[in-house]
Chains A and B, each alone.
Chain A
Amino acid sequence: MTLARPTVEFDHHSQRYKEHWKEDLADIRATCPVAWTSSHEGFWVVSKHADVSRAFRDASTFTTEHREPNNGCSYTGVEIPSWPQVLIPMEVDGPVHVAYRRLLNSWFSPAAVDAMQSRLDRFVAWCIDRRIESGEIDLVLDLANPVPAMLTMEFLGLPVEDWEFYAPTFHDLVAFSHGSDEFNAAIENYMAINDRLSGILDDRRNHPRDDHLTRIAQFEIDGQPLSQEDALNVVGLILAGGVDTTTNLMSHTFHYLDQNLADRERLIADPALFDSACEEFLRLASPGQVHVRTATRDVELGSQLVKAGERVLLSMASANRDEEVFDCPDQVDIERFPNHHVAFGMGPHRCVGAAFARQMFATLLGAVLARLPDYELLPGAERYAEFGIQQGWVSMPARFTPGSPVGASLR
């Protein structure tokens, strides 16, 4: 006898998800925590913290692997629908993944983060300086989008002054729906960025510098240098991983603190609360909403039988509100501890940039609370067209009591 698998209506790219994700996910957690949906050629939705964590940790059973060309297999990486580029090393597993992480981990270590602090302070100060005398700022377009782009570009060895070429593209690729004019324009820009990066990688091979782009251009696995495509995919992942995700952590934070002045006052009075507050906003924002895996073998998950080759969507947005793990999960508690959210994933593919994300949170929040402590959101903040990849704001205009520039420069 074959047990019918429980099915749900679920499509993370739908308007239904955008408007009702919280209650729909709560419903799935309560009634059939691992359930099948026929959307997008069919996949499992995994909603409980315990199952999501287990799948994250067991990378050999639940693989991120993405094969291009695909030849009809279902190893199509961490997104549904799959992104046409293989994101390296997120979408590789096994010894090759280990080799990449061994190279990359040290670039994102606490020491590396500390070494970036003074530059990050400058980028934040420069962005605020541009608006400080006007009394108006867009907290996303003028601050939360540019700063992560600048830091990521500086990290790689790209000229920070070019941020306006890079930042909007990574924002627009997730803010707007596939097929929309804005998305198509962002794709064209993305291809132009790839062309530019390809030229830069070639230049680094001929004229090496002491920067990460050079290290990526020169990296070898098993004695073989990376193909240009693989090198571009590594750079692409660093940009995609670093930019819009952090933007959304900050936009959720700024939005909440606009509505909750008591917590804003607490954070101004006691910056020691920033650490636990950061974890709480990571939990609630879940900048990465979902991450997908492919089952490499038949496996039981949450009382369901997942067959080899089936696609498995891990909902971080749901796991981070699991009633069995978090007391009053929909409430913001800026002192919540412990806070075992899965916003950065778990296990071998744990977000390599997590320490930089936390550093950007602390620096950006500190600067906003110091220089525009009375900021107030204006009407007209626009949400993303859909929430399938990130739940964010396209824009977030605000006003504040004007102040004075500190005279920061980008270089």
Chain B
Amino acid sequence: MKMTVDRDLCSGHGRCYALAPDLFESDDEGFNSFRGKTVDVASDQEEIARRGANACPERAISLDE
């Protein structure tokens, strides 16, 4: 699974890293640290990736399954 965090949509609500701290981290300003990037998601983290993506009110996290 690949995960992209849209640089412009991510506004730093922080729901992703609040709910899935094993996968998502905050940067110094409160944005998703993967903001503007596409990363691979390990198979045992796919479920929390979906949960984090679902939690984002800006729909900034997209998953390519």
Contacts and interface: CB of A to CB of B under 8 A. Distances in A.
A228 interface: no
Contacts of A106: 28-30
B5 interface: no
B19 A275 contact: yes
Contacts of A342: 57
B11 A350 contact: yes
8 contacts: A105-B29, A105-B30, A109-B26, A109-B28, A111-B28, A275-B19, A346-B11, A355-B30
B54 interface: yes
Interface string B24-38: 001011110000000
Number of chain A interface residues as a range: 20 to 34
Contact of A102 (B9, B17, B26, B29): B29
Interface of A: 57, 102, 105-106, 108-111, 275, 337-338, 340-342, 344, 346-348, 350, 354-355, 358
A49 B30 CA distance: 24
| Chain B interface helix/strand/loop/mixed | loop
Contact of B55 (A57, A109, A337, A344): A337
Nearest to B25: A110
Contacts of B14: 110, 354-355
Contacts of B13: 344, 350, 354
Given A350-B12, A354-B13, 4 more contacts: A108-B30, A111-B28, A346-B57, A350-B11
B18 A109 contact: no
Contact of A346 (B19, B31, B58): B58
* Complex A-B, nearest 6 residue pairs according to Cβ-Cβ distance, in ascending order: A105-B29, A350-B11, A340-B57, A109-B30, A110-B26, A338-B54
